[in-house]
């Protein structure tokens, strides 16, 4: 377990790190925000261009720093790049999504571990929180699903920040993916995400979005 002295030092270091970060940068410029969100698009067609594994590692290393409750980090990712894996994925897909996956350089299965709590002593070392989940499977799965969804969003933003394009997919059977890839494990699929370098010629016009006053209120 973390000693009180070392914990105090880690807290002091963490506080200084944030102060130093705010001195270096306070906001992203408009082009950076456009790249990761406001100007970005979901893509459906891909250039015949491989994605280096080093980039996948870099995406993960950025994504993993995003916040999750109790630092539970429940996401588990399977990067499907080969024909055998793609054929297994194709069994789960709605017909319109088959070419999107088969032609993508990489398809990430963004899954979550329903027994993520077994790793909490490593991830949340200053207090043993495993008992919050060990005998509460519904609470554990709800927590895993919610937080892996958060991590999936971080994943897409990280990929875009590194110059890649993404195409998230929910039109598939989770049950088939789980049977094909995670049978006999504690993992369950959340959603799929294609990663690569997009063929922009397949894009159509951007769809409408709500205005702030349509869906938000300040009370």
What string of pLDDT tens digits covers the 219 residues of the chain?
A: 456 678 888 889 999 999 999 999 999 999 999 999 999 999 999 999 999 999 999 999 999 999 999 999 999 999 999 999 999 999 999 999 999 999 999 999 999 999 999 999 999 988 999 999 999 999 999 999 999 999 999 999 999 999 999 999 999 999 999 999 999 999 999 999 999 999 999 999 999 999 999 999 999
pLDDT at res. 7: 81
Angle in degrees, CA 105, 106, 108, rounded to 5: 165
Q: How many CA atoms lie within 13 A of 110 on its CB side?
A: 28
pTM attached to this predicted model: 0.94
Helix (H, G, I), strand (E, B) or coil at 175: helix
DSSP string over 82-131? SHHHHHHHHTTB-GGGHHHHHTSSEEEEEEEETTGGGGHHHHSTTS--GG
Which pLDDT does position 10 carry in this prediction?
Answer: 86
Residue whose entry in the numeric block shows the structure tokens 């970005």: 40
For domain 42-202, say whether CATH 3.30.1600.10 is its number.
no
pLDDT of residue 149: 98
- Secondary structure letter of residue 185 according to DSSP: S
At 8 the pLDDT is 86
Determine the Cα–Cα distance for residues 107 and 123; give it in Å rounded to an integer: 27
So what's the pLDDT on residue 5?
73
The token pair at 197 is 């370098």
| Closest among 92, 55, 85, 51 to 191, alpha carbons compared | 92
Q: What is the DSSP letter of 104?
A: S
> What pLDDT does residue 6 have?
85
Which residues make up the CATH 3.40.109.10 domain(s) of the chain? 42-202
């Amino acid at each position: 377990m973390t000693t009180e002295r070392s914990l105090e030092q880690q807290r002091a270091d963490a506080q200084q790190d944030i102060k130093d970060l705010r001195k270096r940068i306070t906001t992203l410029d408009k082009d950076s925000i456009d790249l990761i969100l406001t100007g970005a698009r979901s893509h459906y067609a891909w250039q015949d261009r491989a994605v280096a594994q080093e980039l996948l590692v870099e995406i993960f290393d950025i994504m993993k720093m995003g916040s999750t409750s109790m630092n539970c980090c429940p996401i588990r990712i399977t990067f499907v790049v080969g024909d055998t894996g793609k054929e297994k994925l194709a069994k789960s897909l709605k017909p319109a999504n088959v070419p999107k996956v088969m032609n993508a350089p990489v398809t990430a299965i963004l899954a979550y571990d329903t027994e993520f709590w077994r790793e909490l002593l490593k991830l949340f070392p200053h207090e043993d929180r495993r008992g919050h989940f060990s005998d509460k499977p519904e609470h554990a799965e709800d927590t895993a699903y919610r937080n892996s969804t958060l991590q999936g969003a971080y994943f897409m933003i990280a990929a875009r920040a590194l110059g890649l394009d993404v195409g998230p997919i929910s039109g598939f059977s989770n049950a088939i993916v789980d049977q094909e890839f995670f049978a006999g494990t504690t993992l369950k699929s959340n959603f799929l995400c294609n990663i690569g370098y997009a063929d922009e010629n397949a894009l159509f016009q951007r769809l409408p979005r709500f205005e702030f006053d349509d869906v938000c209120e300040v009370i």
